[in-house]
Structure 1
Amino acid sequence: MEPALYQYLLRLADSSLTMGQRLAEWCGHGPYLEEDVALTNVSLDLIGHAQMFYQIAVEVSGEHKTPDDLAFLRDAHEFRNPLLTELPKGDFAYTTLKQYFVDVFNLHLYQALSKSKHQPLAQAAKKALMEVKYHLTRSQAWCERLSLSTDEAKQRMQQAFDDLWFYTPELFETDEAMLQLADQGLIADYSVLQSYWQQQVSDLISKCQLVVPQSGWLATGGLQGEHSEHLGYMLAEMQFLQRAYPGCEW
């Protein structure tokens, strides 16, 4: 087993799973039918990415587990997603901006991981990248549309920005194990990812005339298993069936 790579794969998978679950909550609640379908499709893509990364994690671990075991039979403190991805869905502006932040991050992340020396990870990243490009096109268009339209839409986008901005630095947190994996050519250099992300997001901030908050609490802890109560509620609902009927099949 390669513990550092295993934990990193959990980080990738948990982030995609929690984002996918939050987007799934929009099913039947989108602003109109086409967008309802689009949100659900993005949700399914993200959950599919999670399954790919969980499968690789299982293979790396060498343990007799399945992706379902990792998704449905771990407690909140064992999850490694950043706090941003587990936040409640909020209103449409909140969901859209959160998705945009993560889409830009995923774009540059998967571009880098597609060059990983770990071939299963590289192949999974290449597959996810094709879908993430669509996700970003959609979320960016909605950010611009909302920010440059009615006064209420502008206000909601600015409020979402104020609420979410200080969660974004955690996307780029690293530890010694990750630095070693990056040195080995297995994962991305997160300092490089952060510079790409900041440049692209800054362009959108300028175009959408959003105001960057000057100071605030910086989110941290999710990558060490220290989560908000929101993840606990999400997992309680998501994991109920497997926990109530272990090993059930249908």
Structure 2
Amino acid sequence: MSTAPTDENPTGGNEEHGTVYDALVEADDPRWAFGSGFDDVEADLTAPVPDGVDPADLAAYCVMLGDDALVYSHRLTEWVTNAPELEEEVALANTALDLLGQARVLLSRAGHLTGTDEDALAYGRDVPEFRCVALAEPSDDRDFARAVARLLVFSSWRLALLHRLQDSADPVVAAVAAKGVKEVAYHRDHSARWVLRLGDGTALSHERMQAALEWVWPFLGELFRTDPVERRLADAGVAVDPAEVREEVEGVLDMVIERATLTRPDVPEAGTVGGRGGRQGLHTEKLGHALAEFQSLARAHPGATW
């Protein structure tokens, strides 16, 4: 079992894994460690929209970021009672809760701007109305190597975005980012350890981890495609152009892959249909499967409280 970080063991990991993991932190990047030094920030969900910003654009952007976190958090909860060890169930459940918390604030902000609320956005929309990236949608099929490969990619990407969004002109987005940086830094740290442990482990674990990277890699390209809403809000100082974080994210992934004695996948990135993808409401069939489970209770008992 892993331990909490200490001065003698700053990674909080097992001694036998310290040598491999230590190689990752030779670079002076405090975001690798849980707790990146940013204080929690609270913001009023009804705060005024920044000057010169279209409220509809801001709402759409909050929905994008919120949907990524909401849908992926649901997929992570599928590992509860299915993870290979109890400690890992707790870790993945807490990761899901972190993302769900981010989703709630972002969807609440969008709800305020559009005259609705977080529950209506989470439970009342159909597949074409969601704006999450395809990476968040599929089940891991109880393949733990796939689970940690996807978490590494997702958290590396989201951390790069949140780190920049701390300076967002919208106070709610900035507050979510300031808190989320600390949470997602841990998610990346945790998944990187597992990729190292499996990739540089036995012949079988190495093979399974390499196959998991091959599975997740086609989703990578969509993460860096810029939607017109993102471009307009980036120009206004509210959002981040995802194309600008590609070099950083791929640098992190390449470093982990190398240290884990794995090979960067040579597979094509998934394309879009007519230039449309998840940000424009075009999704894989996996999202429909996820929503059928996620929304079933709320749709069966509309308006119910408990």
Same-fold status (TM-score > 0.5): yes
Instruction: Kindly indicate whether residue 252 of structure 2 is the aligned counterpart of residue 200 of structure 1.
Output: yes
Matches within 5 A, 1:216-231: 216-220=268-272, 221-231=277-287
Instruction: Kindly indicate whether residue 131 of structure 2 is the aligned counterpart of residue 80 of structure 1.
Output: yes
Instruction: Kindly indicate whether residue 59 of structure 2 is the aligned counterpart of residue 26 of structure 1.
Output: no
Query: 1: distance between equivalents of 2:127 and 2:107?
Result: 16
* SS across alignment from 2:220: helix
Instruction: Kindly indicate whether residue 109 of structure 2 is the aligned counterpart of residue 56 of structure 1.
Output: yes
Query: 2: distance between equivalents of 1:217 and 1:35?
Result: 30
Which residue identity lines up with residue 71 of structure 1 in the other structure?
A
Cα drift, residue 227 of structure 1: 1.0
Partner of 2:168: 116
Q: Which of 197-206 and 216-225 deviates more?
A: 216-225
Query: 1: distance between equivalents of 2:195 and 2:289?
Result: 28
Partner of 2:22: none
Residues 167, 219 of structure 1: 8 Å contact kept:
no
TM-score (norm 2): 0.78
Query: 2: distance between equivalents of 1:58 and 1:15?
Result: 16
Query: 2: distance between equivalents of 1:223 and 1:180?
Result: 14
Residues 83, 219 of structure 1: 8 Å contact kept:
no
Instruction: Kindly indicate whether residue 114 of structure 2 is the aligned counterpart of residue 68 of structure 1.
Output: no
Which residue identity lines up with residue 99 of structure 1 in the other structure?
L
Query: 2: distance between equivalents of 1:189 and 1:237?
Result: 32
Of 236, 242, 248, 2:298 maps to 242
Cα drift, residue 60 of structure 1: 2.3
Query: 2: distance between equivalents of 1:177 and 1:243?
Result: 30
- Residues 97-132 of structure 1, C-alpha deviations (whole Å, 9 max, x = no match): 000001111111111111001111101111111111
Of 98, 102, 108, 2:150 maps to 98
Which residue identity lines up with residue 19 of structure 1 in the other structure?
Y
Q: How many residues align?
A: 248
- Residues 27-59 of structure 1, C-alpha deviations (whole Å, 9 max, x = no match): 011111111111111111111111111011112
Larger C-alpha radius of gyration, 1 or 2? 2
Residues 11, 80 of structure 1: 8 Å contact kept:
yes
- Residues 133-155 of structure 1, C-alpha deviations (whole Å, 9 max, x = no match): 11111111001001000111111
Which residue identity lines up with residue 70 of structure 1 in the other structure?
L
Query: 2: distance between equivalents of 1:215 and 1:249?
Result: 47
Cα drift, residue 215 of structure 1: 3.6
Partner of 1:160: 212
Change (3 A) 1:215 1:25: closer
Instruction: Kindly indicate whether residue 225 of structure 2 is the aligned counterpart of residue 182 of structure 1.
Output: no
Of 6, 9, 14, 2:67 maps to 14
Query: 2: distance between equivalents of 1:146 and 1:15?
Result: 26
Query: 2: distance between equivalents of 1:187 and 1:217?
Result: 24
Q: Which of 44-53 and 168-177 deviates more?
A: 168-177
Query: 2: distance between equivalents of 1:60 and 1:66?
Result: 9
Instruction: Kindly indicate whether residue 90 of structure 2 is the aligned counterpart of residue 37 of structure 1.
Output: yes
Query: 2: distance between equivalents of 1:82 and 1:185?
Result: 22
Of 223, 239, 263, 1:171 maps to 223
Query: 2: distance between equivalents of 1:168 and 1:114?
Result: 24
Query: 2: distance between equivalents of 1:125 and 1:52?
Result: 11
Which residue identity lines up with residue 242 of structure 1 in the other structure?
A
